[in-house]
A and B are shown apart, each in its own frame.
Chain A
Amino acid sequence: KAGVTQTPRYLIKTRGQQVTLSCSPISGHRSVSWYQQTPGQGLQFLFEYFSETQRNKGNFPGRFSGRQFSNSRSEMNVSTLELGDSALYLCASSLAVGVIYEQYFGPGTRLTVT
């Protein structure tokens, strides 16, 4: 069974640009969550999608948005990039909402904003 895949793995953008990251969950998994990992802050929850609907949202500005497609694949978008958005963005999938201990993480997308 293929794991969670994220594309691209590495990305370099400049301030003010926007970026779209993609996540393909494990086959059969319908819930996708996104996290931001920065040094000293650990993993911070961005949002969770289930059945194409956002079910939970973290404390991030509106520049951060996401969506989920009918095949459960998910994308997150960051507009008007800032230097502080440089981070590892992780996606995790699970069978359903709330099944936290069965979340499976992808390898992440390393975003660098210059």
Chain B
Amino acid sequence: DQQVKQNSPSLSVQEGRISILNCDYTNSMFDYFLWYKKYPAEGPTFLISISSIKDKNEDGRFTVFLNKSAKHLSLHIVPSQPGDSAVYFCAASSNTGKLIFGQGTTLQVKP
């Protein structure tokens, strides 16, 4: 069973606009959530994270929102830049120490 789901395989936005990437989870024991970005031929790189005791975390152009009641988190990128074009993975962890990843969303930012 897929405990972390990214239901949109791809997203295309115009440069300068907002990109919103979504992620849903099913396990209420998850207490830490992360977003990773992956370019082709490279490993994923950590982008931003949020603890379950918060509902928002901001880092520059990147903001992650967590809605625990809906078991939903989203990553907002404002403004989007062509260099943001990549595959974005959300991931969740609990006290088991394992990182559970979603399937990934490919973001394309058009100039």
Contacts and interface: CB of A to CB of B under 8 A. Distances in A.
B101 A35 contact: yes
B62 interface: no
Interface string B92-111: 01001111111110000000
Interface in A29-79: 33, 35, 40-45, 48, 55-56, 58
B68 to A, nearest CB: 19
A101 B91 CA distance: 10
Contacts of B96: 56
B80 to A, nearest CB: 22
Contact of A107 (B43, B49, B99, B100): B43
Interface residues of A, number: 26
A8 to B, nearest CB: 14
Interface residues of B, number: 24
Nearest to A38: B103
Contacts of B104: 42
A81 interface: no
B77 interface: no
A56 B101 contact: no
Contacts of B41: 107
A105 B34 contact: no
A48 B99 CA distance: 10
A55 B91 CA distance: 19
Given A42-B6, A90-B44, A103 B97 contact: no
A48 B43 contact: no
